[in-house]
Amino acid sequence: MCYLKFNLSLQLEMEQARRQKSFKSIYLNPFTMIKAVKDDFVKFYRLHQSLEALERVRGEISEEAYERLKALVYYRLYGREFNRDKIKEKIALAFSMGSDSTASLLILRWAGFDVVPVMVRLPQMRDVILLRAQEYGAVFVEVPNYAEVISSQIQKRAPICGKCHSMIMEAVKNYARKNGIKIVASGDLLSFGSISIYKEGDLIKLNLPAFLALDKREAISILGRKYALGFGCPLWKNATKSAPILKRFGIQRVLRELRAGAIDKEIANALIRDILKN
């Protein structure tokens, strides 16, 4: 019954938003960083879950950061403008130069946050990526024993992406702790609702795209440039040659993102084709 009431209230809010005369112009404004969700019920619902999650961590972050994140969600819901003057709150962002983390960086800076893009220097990264990351003000950190751990995963023919991600996030969190930064952000598209922002030990984890119910196509559009779709880093692509089963894990991940609405069928098709051609 509570769920039905909540759905009804969401539908009423969406109808009110559609009737606002200024809403259409705000939604279609090409100069906005992100667009209001308009009549997308699923995203509307997820954004309300994000607001609930934000309330749960309110006492853990500065009031200034809380108000700015809340305003960002309301902007996404209704196109409601907010003060985007710079605030003192620093955010450490796990940065890879991919579409999701780059879009997260652009959004957070646009919203007034002081964002530190933290890039883990990995052996598979090309020099051009590192140079481009410097243009965004990235700082570089190392992961101890990274090569040994990942090599062990490959030898066992076990998935490597999850292990790699966890090691990267741990390095970013360590950087945040050493520099007195409370909020650690990522470009995670899938962690909706209660895990879009939450307390993790002494830090606050913010999965920004999920927090704003952004999908992959929206993230790419924020970049304002052409983006070549592809699955996996050079290390993963090379690992599939000796452990083809990794392709199956890759396809499962793509399908999981498709089911969640983080990507559409066209993007899923492109990613799966890229996986199979390696």
Is the per-residue pLDDT at 146 higher than 80? yes
Is the per-residue pLDDT at 133 higher than 70? yes
The better pLDDT of the pair 227, 109 is held by 109
Query: What pLDDT score does 241 carry?
Result: 87
Query: What pLDDT score does 7 carry?
Result: 53
- Ranges of CATH 3.40.50.620 domains, the chain: 2-227
**Averaged pLDDT for residues 126-148:** 92
The better pLDDT of the pair 204, 128 is held by 204
pTM of model > 0.95:
no
Lowest mean pLDDT among 34-43, 106-115, 224-233, 260-269: 224-233
Rounded Cα distance, 188 and 191, in Å = 6
Residues 79 and 23: beta-carbon distance below 8 Å:
yes
Architecture of the domain made up of 2-227: 3-Layer(aba) Sandwich (3.40)
pLDDT in tens, 10-40: 554 554 544 443 333 222 233 468 999 988 9
Name residue 64's amino acid.
E
What percentage of the chain has pLDDT greater than the value 90? 68
Query: What pLDDT score does 27 carry?
Result: 29
pLDDT in tens, 201-235: 999 999 999 999 999 999 999 998 888 888 988 88
